């Protein structure tokens, strides 16, 4: 498979129209290369020099995670190349607080960049942090703490991974607790996807943590996937409390990402998520944490008063774009990076070309 096609195979409509999607992305990347050749990337960088880019990462591949989910996990080699690109091209990588101070003063230097990582997977400590230290880049890690306390693989990811990994063409769902019973064919992708999400919903709604572990082991056994191997490798696990503490002591900025990886649009439940998150992290870090990341990219301006109530200084979204003095601090934009992005697409994001293009379209 060509490198270009590798990048597109995780596209949401790739399975239905692979040739159309591959052609579209090939033409898009050819267009971006032409724009770079014409000097438009350099022009974009100058025009957006007062903006601060916040990069967003999640997990880093310890095994085949980036093949499983190219939007969530990135290969170590790809991440190393991204950091080398920043260094080689003179991007000024700042800590989050320093960047916000400069934004407030309208004094952001050209190519100002902040690196953030969501969730707190083990691979942040074992892969990302050594690379970041090599380049002397500060980083902010938004940690969701439920699985840091439980020290088990993230349930919904483990179920998705086992459905992706299996070579079985059917699954006996008898006795696992869902409405269906008997043997279900996994040959049709839509049926397979619907089934895995029914199992995840059952685990989340009807099981405690011990029940979710039993369910995961049962699914792994019936799918012929080594769940205990997932547990031992910790490929889908977040850092333990002790590992978070060690990372903070080494200079990493640990911040808030809710306890249960949800931020409901109900005030009391949302505030509880922040308080539970803080109750775990602040004793480890030894200071008040006041930066927040919305879980799963879901957010609303209706939630901003709750962030103010809990004394948050900032909150980052998954909305794409750069940040300026007038960007709401509870609606900070980020540039998502992952294994599914080709180098030219990521460069177009980082240099501000997409930002300039969006501004031109909006002004018409």
Domain boundaries along the sequence of the chain: 39-149+238-363, 152-233
Q: Pick the closest to residue 54 from 343, 340, 354, 317 (CA basis).
A: 317
Q: How far is CA 107 from CA 112, 138, 320, in A?
A: 10, 19, 22
Hey, what CATH topology would domain 39-149+238-363 get? Answer: TIM Barrel (3.20.20)
Model confidence, pTM: 0.92
Mean of the pLDDT values across residues 117-146? Answer: 97
pLDDT in tens, 207-248: 999 999 999 999 999 999 999 999 999 999 999 999 999 999
Strand 314-316 relative to strand 73-74: parallel, antiparallel, unpaired?
unpaired
3-state secondary structure of 92: strand
d(CA 172, CA 158): 18
d(CA 276, CA 247): 20
pLDDT given for residue 360 in this prediction: 73
Measured at the CA of 282, the angle between CA 61 and CA 304, to 5 degrees, comes to 85
Q: Pick the closest to residue 320 from 331, 335, 338, 342 (CA basis).
A: 335
pLDDT given for residue 3 in this prediction: 33
pLDDT given for residue 2 in this prediction: 31
Furthest CA-CA distance within the chain: 64
Residue 172 — pLDDT band, cuts 50, 70, 90? very high
- Are 290 and 277 in contact, with CB atoms under 8 Å apart? no
pLDDT exceeds 60 at position 68: yes
pLDDT exceeds 90 at position 361: no
Mean of the pLDDT values across residues 170-189? Answer: 93
């Amino acid at each position: 498979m060509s490198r270009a096609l590798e990048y597109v195979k995780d596209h949401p409509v790739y399975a239905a129209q692979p040739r159309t999607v591959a052609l579209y992305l090939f033409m898009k990347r050819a267009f971006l290369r032409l724009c770079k050749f014409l000097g438009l990337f350099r022009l974009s960088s100058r025009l957006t020099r007062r903006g601060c880019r916040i990069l967003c990462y999640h997990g880093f591949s310890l095994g085949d995670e980036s093949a499983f989910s190219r939007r969530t996990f990135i290969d170590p080699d790809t991440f190393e190349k991204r950091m080398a690109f920043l260094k080689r091209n003179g991007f000024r990588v700042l800590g989050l607080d320093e960047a916000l101070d400069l934004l407030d003063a309208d004094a952001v230097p050209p190519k100002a960049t902040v690196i953030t990582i969501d969730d707190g997977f083990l691979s942040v400590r074992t892969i990302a942090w050594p690379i970041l230290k090599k380049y002397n880049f500060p980083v902010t890690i938004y940690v969701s703490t439920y699985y840091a306390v439980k020290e088990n693989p993230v349930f919904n990811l483990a179920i998705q991974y086992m459905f992706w990994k299996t070579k079985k063409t059917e699954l006996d769902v008898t006795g696992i607790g869902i409405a269906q019973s008997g043997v279900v064919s996994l040959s049709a992708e839509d049926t397979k996807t619907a089934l895995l999400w029914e199992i995840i919903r059952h685990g989340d709604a009807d099981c405690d943590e011990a029940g979710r572990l039993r369910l995961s082991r049962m699914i792994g056994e019936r799918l012929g996937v080594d769940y205990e191997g997932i547990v031992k490798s910790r490929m889908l696990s977040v850092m333990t409390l002790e590992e978070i503490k060690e990372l903070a002591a080494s200079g990493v900025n640990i911040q808030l990402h809710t306890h249960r990886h949800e931020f409901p649009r109900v005030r009391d439940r949302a505030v509880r998520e922040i308080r539970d998150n803080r109750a775990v992290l602040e004793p480890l870090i030894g200071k008040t944490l006041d930066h927040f990341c919305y879980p799963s990219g879901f957010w609303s301006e209706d939630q901003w008063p709750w962030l103010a109530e809990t004394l948050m200084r900032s909150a980052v979204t998954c909305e794409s774009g750069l940040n300026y003095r007038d960007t709401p601090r509870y609606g900070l934009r980020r540039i998502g990076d992952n294994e599914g992005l080709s180098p030219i697409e990521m460069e177009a994001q980082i240099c501000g070309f997409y930002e300039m293009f969006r501004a031109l379209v909006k002004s018409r």
